[in-house]
Amino acid sequence: MKDWNEECAVVGVYNVNNAAILSYYSLFAMQHRGQEASGISTSDGTKITTLKGNGLVTKVFDEENLKKLQGKSSIGHNRYSTAGEDSINEAQPIFARYSLGEMAIVHNGNLTNAKAVRKMLIDKGAIFQSHLDTENLIHLIAQSQKEHLVDRIIDALSYVDGAYCFVFLSRSKMFVVRDRYGLRPLSLGKIYNDDGSVGYIVASETCAFDLVGAEYVRDVAPGEMLIFEGAYTPLNACEPKSVQVFAPKSKPCVFEYMYFSRPDSQVYGKNVYEIRKNMGIELAKEHKLNADIVIPVPDSGVAAALGYAKQSGIDFELGIIRNHYVGRTFIEPLQRMRELKVRLKLNPISSVIQDKEIIVIDDSVVRGTTSKQIVQILRKAGAKKVYLLISAPPTISPCYYGVDTPDKDQLICANKSIEEVRSYIGADFLGFLSINGMLRSIGGNQEFCKACFDGQYVDEYLLQSAK
C-alpha cells in the first residue's frame, strides 16, 4: 500500500548529557514517520537553541551543527505534512519567547478544531507565522492568564480537540501530554547516565529506545501529562510527576499496527510484527485460496504474508523487491511510462512469478491505482493468476487525526463494491480482512479508533460537526 502518507515523530529527552545527540538518533530511528523536515531544540538551563530544516535527519544535521545544540534537555520532530505547507516555516519545533520566558513545542497528530481556534485567536490580535495547527498552542499559552506554565498548558489544551502528542520544552522543564483518546502512540523510557543519575526519554515509537539504549518504562496514558523538572540524581531517581489532565477515553489508532509503525516497535504495549503476522493468519482463515506461492508487497505486507503462508501451508516467497533508496520523484513519467513510479520502488522477480498462481498480501487499498499497477506488473512478469488479499478491512473514510489520507470521494472502497474494486484493479480475486478478524489479531479488550474502516469518529468536535 503506497497511498497513505506517514504521520510525524516526536521525541523528548531530559536530564541526559548531550541530549541533542539522543534526539538525533531517535529521530533517525523514526525517519519512516516523516521525511519532509526535521528539527531539534535544546535547553542548557538559560536559553533554548533550535535548528531545523527540510529533508531527512541526516541532511538537516551534521556533527558541526549538533555541537551548537548544547544542554541536558532536548525535543525533536520529524515532519510529514498533515496540516500546513511544505516550507521551512512549517517545520518543528516551534520556538517562541513570551511573558514567562522561552518555549519550544513539537506535535504529532492533528487538531480537528484548529481552524475555529485560529480564527478566535486572530480575532484577538494574534499573528501567525505558519499554517501549522500546532502554532495555536503557542498563542493559547501566551494569552492564558494562569501564573505558571503548567497551568497555562492545561488551560490551552482545554480549547483544542483531536489527536495530539505534545512535548513542550522550557528553559528548565519539559512537559509531555497525550490526548484523552490516546490516538497517537507515545512511550516513556529511562536512561542511566555514567554518573548514576537517571535521564528520561519519550518517543512516538520504542524503536527509538532500542537505538539509544533506553529502557522502556510504559506508555504515556491517554489524557496524561508528565512533568520533568529538577535533576534526577542517584538519590532522587523517581519518575516524572504525572497529572491526569483529562478523563481518559482510550481509543488509540488501530492503523498504527497495519502500516505506520516499525515492526520492531512496541505500540500500545504490543509488538507490531507479531500483530501483523496474526493478521495474516486471520486472513488465511477467512480466505482459503489455492495457489502456488504467497508473496508480500514490501515492506509492510511481509509479516502478514508470513502469517498467511504459515496458516495456509502455501510457500512464502519474496516475489517483489523494494528499492529502499528511492525518495520523492520530481519528474513525472510520460503516459506511456505510467508504471515508472511504482517500478522505481517495486520490481518483480520473474523467475519466482513465471507461470505461478500467486497470492499477493498488501496492507490496504486506498485509491486503488497502486494496487492496479502492482497487478499489471505481476502479470507482465508471467503470473498465471493474481489473488490480492488485504490484511485490513476496506478503507471507507478519511482520517482527521494526523494521517494524511485522501478525501472520501477518492477512497475507492467507499464508492465501489468489492467486486467493482477487483475489476478495476484487475486481480482474479480480491479479499479483505474483516473488522472482527483485525480485532482478533490484536487480542485483548482494548477499544480502538477504526474510523478509517467504519466511519465512527471518536472526537467530540467531529461528532458535533457531522450532526
| Domains held by the chain: number | 2
pTM of the model: 0.90
207 is in an annotated binding site: no
Whole-angstrom Cα distance, residue 4 to residue 283?
A: 21
CB atoms within 10 A of CB 163: 28
Which residue range(s) make up the domain with 45?
9-250
DSSP letter (8 states) at residue 409: G
363 is in an annotated binding site: yes
224 and 312 in a single domain? The answer is no
pLDDT at position 25 is: 98
Query: CATH number for the domain including 228?
Result: 3.60.20.10
Q: Is 449 annotated as a binding residue?
A: yes
Q: Is 8 a catalytic residue?
A: yes
Which one has a higher pLDDT value, 21 or 458? Answer: 21
> Which of 9-18, 74-83, 131-140, 451-460 is predicted with the least confidence, judged by mean pLDDT?
74-83
Residues 188 and 129 in one domain: yes
Reported confidence tier of residue 330, pLDDT bands at 50, 70, 90: very low
Beta-strand ranges (E) seen in 15-124 are 37-43, 48-54, 73-79, 94-98, 101-111
Asked if residue 396 is part of any domain, the answer here is: yes
**466 within a domain of the structure (yes/no):** no
* Domain boundary, last residue among 235, 250, 265: 250
Give me the half-sphere count of Cα atoms (radius 13 Å) on the Cβ side of residue 50. Answer: 25
pLDDT of 329 > 50? The answer is: no
Is 165 assigned a ligand-binding role in the annotation? Answer: no
d(CA 309, CA 181): 35
Nearest-angstrom CA–CA distance, 98 and 102: 6
pLDDT at 343: 72
Q: Please indicate, yes or no, whether residues 140 and 246 belong to a single structural domain of this protein.
A: yes
Tell whether the model's pLDDT for residue 37 goes beyond 60.
Answer: yes
129 within a domain of the structure (yes/no): yes
Quick: pLDDT tens for 397-440.
Answer: 998 887 777 789 999 999 999 999 999 999 999 999 999 999 99
Confidence category of residue 340, pLDDT binned at 50, 70, 90:
low
Q: Evaluate if residue 308 carries a pLDDT over 80.
A: yes
Strand segments, DSSP code E, in 193-342 are: 198-203, 215-219, 224-229, 241-244, 266-267, 270-271, 293-296, 315-316, 320-322
pLDDT at 241 over 90: yes
Percent of the chain with pLDDT over 70: 91
Question: Backbone phi, then psi, for 202, in 5-degree steps?
Answer: -120, 145
Q: Which of 8, 165, 207, 413 is catalytic?
A: 8
In a domain, 132, yes or no: yes
Model pLDDT for residues 258-300, shown as the tens digit of each residue: 888 999 999 999 999 999 999 999 999 999 999 999 999 998 8
Q: What is the DSSP string of 325-339?
A: T-----SPPPGGGTT
How far out from the chain centre does Cα 376 lie? 30
Instruction: Measure Cα distances from 313 to 289, 291, 310, 387, 429 in Å.
Output: 11, 10, 5, 16, 19
238 is in an annotated binding site: no
**CATH assignment of the domain containing 393:** 3.40.50.2020
